Amino acid sequence: MHVDTWRAAYGGIVPEAHLDGLSYEESERLWREVIEAGEGCVFVAENDRGVYGFASGRPRERSSRDLAEYEGELMTLYVLPSHQGTGAGKLLVGAVARYLAGRGVPSMLLWVFAENRSARRFYESLGGTLVAEDGFELAGAWLYGVAYGWGDLDVLLVADGPSS
Ligand SMILES: CC(C)(COP(=O)(O)OP(=O)(O)OC[C@H]1O[C@@H](n2cnc3c(N)ncnc32)[C@H](O)[C@@H]1OP(=O)(O)O)[C@@H](O)C(=O)NCCC(=O)NCCS
């Protein structure tokens, strides 16, 4: 899912060669490591045909001096194109927010490609505030990211979350 949603969402943003080079096996290995490390949460949205969305998050390192007022981070959020716009993304963000709030983490931020206008509108619709911009190199291209922050996670704590 991570590989497929990257390819669907980031054509024209991330170099094609990088998207072509993504590997299901490598992605599976990385996600096994993340889950086994147990340093945060991974939630999935699923129905009887399988998983159609997932999100992960964790508390930020105490040593992060930049944007230190945001204590948690939404690390990933992806919904398959066939299920976008059905409320899954909002539920998944809510599940990560509830996980963080339950561990005494009151705030969070996330990074998104600056050119990912659709996701940016989604985060803005959930009350996220633009708090930072940064440039970085990926696969030989210079890309820009922007960060959205929530100073108070309460606005994201929606009633019913997906299964974890
Ligand atoms: C961004 C993404 C996670 C949003 O999830 P989603 O399931 O499509 O969004 P939802 O159906 O939960 O939408 C929740 C709310 O946001 C609004 N919304 C969603 N996308 C929007 C957009 N592009 N513009 C404006 N509002 C948007 C919806 O209208 C909805 O509002 P409502 O609660 O008032 O009805 C999903 O579209 C996705 O996976 N996109 C591709 C990958 C990606 O860009 N991931 C983010 C990486 S940082």
66 closest CA partner among 105, 103, 109, 96 = 109
What is the pTM assigned to this prediction?
0.94
C-alpha pair distances (Å), 35 with each of 40, 69, 121:
8, 26, 29
Residue spans of the domains in the chain: they are 2-156
Per-residue model confidence as pLDDT tens digits over 125-161: 999 999 999 999 999 999 999 999 999 999 999 655 5
Query: Which atom of ligand 1 is least distant from the CA of 83?
Result: 7
Is the CATH number 3.30.200.20 carried by domain 2-156?
A: no
Per-residue model confidence as pLDDT tens digits over 72-130: 999 999 999 999 999 999 999 999 999 999 999 999 999 999 999 999 999 999 999 99
Quickly list H helices, 38-107.
88-102
**Which of 3, 125, 138 to mutate for ligand 1's pocket (most ligand atoms within 8 Å of CB)?**
125
Tell which phi-psi region holds residue 111, choosing left (phi > 0), alpha (psi between -120 and 50) or beta.
beta
Between the CA of 153 and the centroid of ligand 1 the distance, in Å, is 18
Between the CA of 84 and the centroid of ligand 1 the distance, in Å, is 7
Per-residue model confidence as pLDDT tens digits over 27-62: 999 999 999 999 999 999 999 999 999 999 999 987
- Report the range of poorest mean pLDDT among 10-19, 62-71, 116-125: 62-71
93 close to ligand 1 (CB < 6 Angstrom): no
Q: Exposed, middle or buried: residue 82 (CB in 10 Å: 0-12, 13-18, 19+)?
A: exposed
Per-position DSSP letters for 94-129, written without gaps between them: HHHHHHHHHTT---EEEEEETT-HHHHHHHHHTT-E
Q: Which residues pair with 150 in a beta bridge?
A: 108
Query: Which atom of ligand 1 is least distant from the CA of 110?
Result: 48
